[in-house]
Amino acid sequence: MNQTIGFIGLGVMGKSMAKHILKAGYPLNIYTRTKEKAEELLSLGAEWKSTVAELSNESDIIITMIGYPQDVEHVYLDEAGIISSARPGTYVIDMTTSQPSLAKKIYEKAKQKNIYALDAPVSGGDIGAREARLAIMVGGHREAFDHCYPLFEVMGQNIVYQGEAGSGQHTKMCNQIAIASGMIGVCEAVSYAKKSGLDPANVLKSITTGAAGSWSLSNLAPRMLGEDYEPGFFVKHFIKDMGIALDESNEMDLFTPGLKLAHELYEKLAEEGNENKGTQALVKLWDKAEVNN
């Protein structure tokens, strides 16, 4: 418990993750671009750091949960970033969904400074973050994973070491690919239930526990029915993730028609002004088609 944790990024998921760390008794340093997002954590005892460099120099383990690969690259590799500012022996954990190649680059740069880097993206959305039930998929050095495992347990339940640097990010791409096509199926099932005159909420009672069951069907389909499009996971971030998965798939000459279609549909959804909605807002495309027909 005597290790000080630094946490950068207090968005929809990061804030809940940081709160679990604080409540577990770890001293917590925090930094985010918008300080207002930190007020609750500060009131609970977290320490505010005014720069990435300050936080990095005063923390034993640093966690980042930010938006895009370019943000990750800046935070880690800029002149006043984490790698330049952290002390030798520090552990750094990027829990952002990002590029596997960037995870490898950060790992190599960290290694040169005797810093231990892990890529550890998560799945479970806002609910999983809030309830500390995230799935955490980890790449990097095995001993670094073992050292940080107690901290991962504070935030998640399904914690799996996947292999060398970049393996966590590759695993998250598998996760996003599975979700991408699945979300189309959820939207079509909800729309079919409505069109056929059934009570969609009652339909969900039957199909969420059978072979069709999925996290999206159990957690996001009810939000669709309630027209609750607030983000557990932003449309814009899902588009980013699918873009990374498509790039990686193309590099491997992998055929991913479901992923390609989902990416196109979500881009259309974003073009219609829904980039800051939750991924369940995809059903709006079906609702719009119904109105137009």
Active site residue 172: yes
Q: What CA–CA distance (Å, rounded) separates 236 from 159?
A: 26
Q: What CA–CA distance (Å, rounded) separates 108 from 112?
A: 6
Catalytic one among 111, 172, 236, 268? 172
Annotated active-site positions, please?
Answer: 172
